[in-house]
Amino acid sequence: MVEETDGPIHDEDYEHKYRRQIVNRLARIEGHVRAVKEMTAEDRDCSEVLLQIAAIQKALDKAAKLLLKDHLENCVVKAVHHGNQDKVLEDLNKALDNYIR
C-alpha cells in the first residue's frame, strides 16, 4: 500500500531528463535578449526589433513546453505513484494557471 503524504511533489531524488536541454535553451534566449537590447539601444528598425522579440517569445514557449513535459514525465508520475494525487493536481493546476493567463 502506498502512503499518501502532504509534502511537495518534487524533491531532490527526481531525475530531470531534459534539464540540460532546458538550461541550454534558456542560455540561448538570454543571449538573444541581450542582442535585442543592443538593437534597441542602437535605434534599429522597430520592425526588426519586434521580429526578434517574437522569436524570443516562441523560444520561451518551447522551453516552457519542454519543462512541462519533464515535469509530467518525471515529477508528476512519481508523485502519483507515491499517493500524492490531490497534491499533484493542485500543484499542476496552479502551475498551468500561472503559465496560461
> Residues 34-73: pLDDT tens digits?
999 999 999 999 999 999 999 999 999 999 999 999 988 8
Assess if residue 36 is contained within a domain: yes
Task: Answer yes or no: is 26 within a domain.
Answer: yes
State the chain's mean pLDDT as an integer.
86
Residue 50 lies in a domain: yes
Measured distance CA(79)–CA(88) in Å, rounded:
7
Mean pLDDT of all residues in 86-94: 86
Residue 4 maps to a domain: no
DSSP the chain: -PPP--S-S--TT---TTHHHHHHHHHHHHHHHHHHHHHHHTT--HHHHHHHHHHHHHHHHHHHHHHHHHIIIIIIHHHHHTT-HHHHHHHHHHHHHHH--
Provide the whole-model pTM. 0.76
Inside any domain, residue 55: yes
Judge whether 70 lies within some domain. yes
Q: Which domain holds residue 75?
A: 19-99
Total domains in the fold of the chain:
1
Neighbouring CB atoms inside 10 A of 2's CB total 9
